[in-house]
């Protein structure tokens, strides 16, 4: 054992070894687990809806890309920044969606390296299916009172604050 080693070394990241997380830190960690689990469940709900409709050519992620693309015409980079998609996954899925006829793409006149994408009529149909699914869920949650306490607007505001904090952390790193 080294004689000059500190008694209570601080780990490379995080709290000193003898310090436990606060209640708000524990709540934050639970929120992270819930967000991840809710995202997976949302994808399962979308998958189940499309299986019920016998629409099996799309993955839930592809359906969510169509939903998030909406009425806009955007670049793949813009879509990536608006959604929860990794770069290569967006490119792969957009290529598949174009091949299947759900998305129209064309090169930008100003920058030929950039591709603009928008929904075709078939893509808009899929987007509407997902939208109706979410509206049904919203109505059911509203009727059950689940969204009343705390009000969902407050939860959304807190979530946007966390999103802004994360975005600032990413900008700070680079």
Q: Is 121 exposed, middle or buried (0-12, 13-18, 19+ CB in 10 A)?
A: exposed
CATH placement of domain 25-148: 1.10.10.10
In sequence order, the 6+-apart residues with CB closer than 8 A to the CB of 77 are: 114
Q: What is the mean pLDDT of residues 17-26?
A: 80
Instruction: Output the six-digit token pair for 172.
Output: 């700070």
pLDDT of residue 10: 45
pTM for the complete prediction?
0.78
Q: pLDDT tens-digit profile of 58-92?
A: 999 999 999 988 888 887 777 777 665 665 688 88
**Cα–Cα distance, 125 to 66 (Å, whole number):** 9
- H or E element that contains 74: strand 74-75
Q: pLDDT tens-digit profile of 123-165?
A: 999 999 999 999 999 999 999 999 888 899 999 999 999 989 9
Instruction: Output the six-digit token pair for 34.
Output: 């819930």
Q: What is the mean pLDDT of residues 87-116?
A: 83
Instruction: Work out the mean pLDDT of the chain and round it to a whole number.
Output: 85
- Least Cα distance to 42 among 154, 137, 125 occurs for 137
**Cα–Cα distance, 2 to 53 (Å, whole number):** 67
In sequence order, the 6+-apart residues with CB closer than 8 A to the CB of 69 are: 79, 103, 117, 118, 119, 123, 127
pLDDT of residue 8: 47
Please, what sign has the CA dihedral across residues 167, 170, 171, 172?
A: positive
Side by side, the strands of the sheet bearing 115-119 are: 74-75, 115-119, 103-107
pLDDT confidence bin for 50, thresholds 50/70/90: very high
What Rg value do the Cα atoms of the chain yield, rounded? 22
**Cα–Cα distance, 22 to 24 (Å, whole number):** 5
Position 16 pLDDT exceeds 90: no
- CA distance to 3, 6, 127, per residue, from 60 (Å): 58, 51, 12
Domain positions in the chain are: 25-148
């Amino acid at each position: 054992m080294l004689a000059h080693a500190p008694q209570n070394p601080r780990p490379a990241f995080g709290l000193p070894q003898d310090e436990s997380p606060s209640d708000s830190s524990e709540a934050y960690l639970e929120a992270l687990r819930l967000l991840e689990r809710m995202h997976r469940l949302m994808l399962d709900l979308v998958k189940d809806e499309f299986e019920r409709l016998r629409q099996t050519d799309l993955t839930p992620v592809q359906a969510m890309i169509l939903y998030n693309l909406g009425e806009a015409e955007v670049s793949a980079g813009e879509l990536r920044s608006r959604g929860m998609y990794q770069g290569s996954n967006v490119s792969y899925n957009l290529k598949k969606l174009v091949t299947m006829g759900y998305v129209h793409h064309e090169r930008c006149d100003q920058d030929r390296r950039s591709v603009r994408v928008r929904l075709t009529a078939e893509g808009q149909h899929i987007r509407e299916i997902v939208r109706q699914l979410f509206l049904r869920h919203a109505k059911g949650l509203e009727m059950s009172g689940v969204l009343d306490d705390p009000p969902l607007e407050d939860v959304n505001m807190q979530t946007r604050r966390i999103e802004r904090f994360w975005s600032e952390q990413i900008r700070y790193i680079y």
